[in-house]
Amino acid sequence: MAAYGIASATEIAFYSYIYAKVTKDDYKRLTSWTRAASMAGRTFSYLLSQAIISINIGTYLTINQVALISPIIVFIIGIYLPRVQWKILHERVKITNDTKQFDEPTTYPEYVKFRLRKLWSNTKQIYQIGFVRKWSLWWAMTTCMSLQISAYSQTLWGEVQKEETTLNGFAEATYTACAAIAIMLMNMISIDWDKWGEAALVLISSIDCAVLLFFSQAQTIYVMYICYISYRTLYQVMITIAQYVLLKDKAKCIKIALFSCPIDKIIIQPSIFRYHDYIS
């Protein structure tokens, strides 16, 4: 669970790093592309896992070994990604924040200390905005629920599965593929999310709620698969909308890195629940 929490937390860097390299006008396109890329990668991994089991070219131990090697490879690739100069980030922060009360950093170690001192004041400043509080609360609750569905769906499927060969991997791959397609379509369609974002989230959340209720009462595995794919795909659509709306207005979201505040909570909470189930 600790390893899962650490790996999940690294998504913060993945989804925020690229914004430091581009201008605000590219946020919508990059939000769609980064999330679609993540979904495409998961689709490949799920298909690979399903193939390993279905074709009998390996066991679940093989999948665990692949899961261990993959992050190591990704870490090596991450080392060679283009770096973001801290001076550029500091200049961007100065545009939207009052930094006169602190000494200007001239080296990277000084910049780290500077950011740590500014973290608390920035947190108070950003969460004084009702818009950010509302969206952060919604984000935390929605993501926590999605993680719970992801964690316990396999157990629920096992209650109704009779055959030895399962298609759980294909179900996961279908969800991520559908999510990637939906996210890319969102990027292609011109919609004013500042105007229609909240209405879209209310509508999609209501649909997700109905799907989840139907999912809980389903007695056949294929109906469960359809409900799971629908729920998780719609969740990814909602998160993409929320991420874009929050990032677009830098007056409402002063620092992208502050997304880690609600994200840390939603990573910790499911881990506690899973640990409780394990010891029970």
Whether residue 107 lies inside any domain: the answer is no
**Contact by Cβ (8 Å): 244, 187:** no
Whether the CB-CB separation of 201 and 241 falls below 8 Å is answered with yes
pTM to 2 decimal places: 0.70
Tokens of 172: 């996961």
Highest mean pLDDT among 14-28, 51-65, 126-140, 242-256: 51-65
Is residue 231's pLDDT more than 90?
yes
Please indicate, yes or no, if residue 147 is contained in any of the structural domains.
yes
DSSP string, 56-113: TS--HHHHHHHHHHHHHHHHHHHHTSPPPPHHHHHHHHHHHS--TTSPPP-SHHHHHH
44, part of any domain:
yes
Range of the domain at 215: 2-94+130-279
Residue 226 scores a pLDDT above 50: yes
- Within-domain flag for 112: no
Residue 26 domain-assigned? yes
Least-confidence region, from 43-47, 191-195, 208-212: 191-195
Q: Is the dihedral of CA 17, 22, 25, 26 positive or negative?
A: negative
Residue type, 279: I
The whole-angstrom separation of Cα 25 and Cα 130 is: 24
What pLDDT band is residue 249 in, cutting at 50, 70 and 90? low
Q: Report the C-alpha gap between 46 and 179 in whole angstroms.
A: 14
Q: Output the pLDDT for position 260.
A: 39
CA 218 to chain centre: 27
Residue 120 lies in a domain: no
Structure tokens at 11: 């998504």
pLDDT digits (tens, 9 = 90+) for 117-166: 777 777 777 777 777 777 778 888 888 888 888 888 888 888 887 765 67
What's the token pair of residue 180?
Answer: 């990637």
Interhelix angle for 108-126 vs 86-96, to 10°?
A: 30
What does the pLDDT average to over 179-190? Answer: 84
Q: Residue 224's pLDDT is what?
A: 92
**Beta carbons of 262 and 136 less than 8 angstroms apart:** yes
More confident residue, 217 or 254: 217
DSSP codes of every residue in 248-278: H-TTT-S-GGGGHHHHHHHHHHHHHHHHHHH
- The fraction of the chain above a pLDDT of 90, given in percent, is 8
pLDDT (tens digit per residue) in 89-110? 767 666 555 555 556 777 878 8
Token couple for 124: 């108070």
Question: What is the pLDDT, as a whole number, of residue 93?
Answer: 63
Report the chain's terminal Cα–Cα distance, integer Å: 16
- How many structural domains comprise the chain? 1
